[in-house]
Amino acid sequence: MPNLSNLPQDARDESGRLIRELHGVTLAQILEYLVAAYGWPELDSRIRINCFAVNPSIKSSLTFLRRTPWARAKVEELYVQTRTAEVLGHKLGSRGK
């Protein structure tokens, strides 16, 4: 599992936008991307919140994340780190993408 925290903060996506700005990316898109990239068990090990561990689903996770700012911030940060790693060509977590 690569250390994603040391990646540059000015990485841009295919359209030239800064990844860290999350411009036009919904929370649902972020969560679906992370589930596809890592799967629920790996998400739970990276961000310890019950909605990823106990009967995980997109719907229940979105409900929790929309009401819990600290958890949403952690999910958004993992998304930024993962997308940055992907754009820069680093290998992702357990499932890869």
Of 13-17, 18-22, 51-55, 66-70, where does mean pLDDT reach its minimum? 13-17
Only one residue has tokens 């997109």, namely: 58
77 SS3 class: helix
Average pLDDT, the chain: 82
Mean pLDDT for 11-28 is 72
Integer Cα distance of 77 and 6 in angstroms: 13
Structural domains of the chain, ranges and CATH numbers in brackets: 25-97 (1.10.720.30)
Please report which confidence band the pLDDT of residue 23 belongs to, taking 50, 70 and 90 as the band edges: confident
Q: 18 or 49: which carries more pLDDT confidence?
A: 49
Give the tokens for residue 71: 């958890």
- Cα Rg of the chain (Å, integer): 13
Only one residue has tokens 């991307």, namely: 33
Give the tokens for residue 75: 């999910």
69 SS3 class: helix
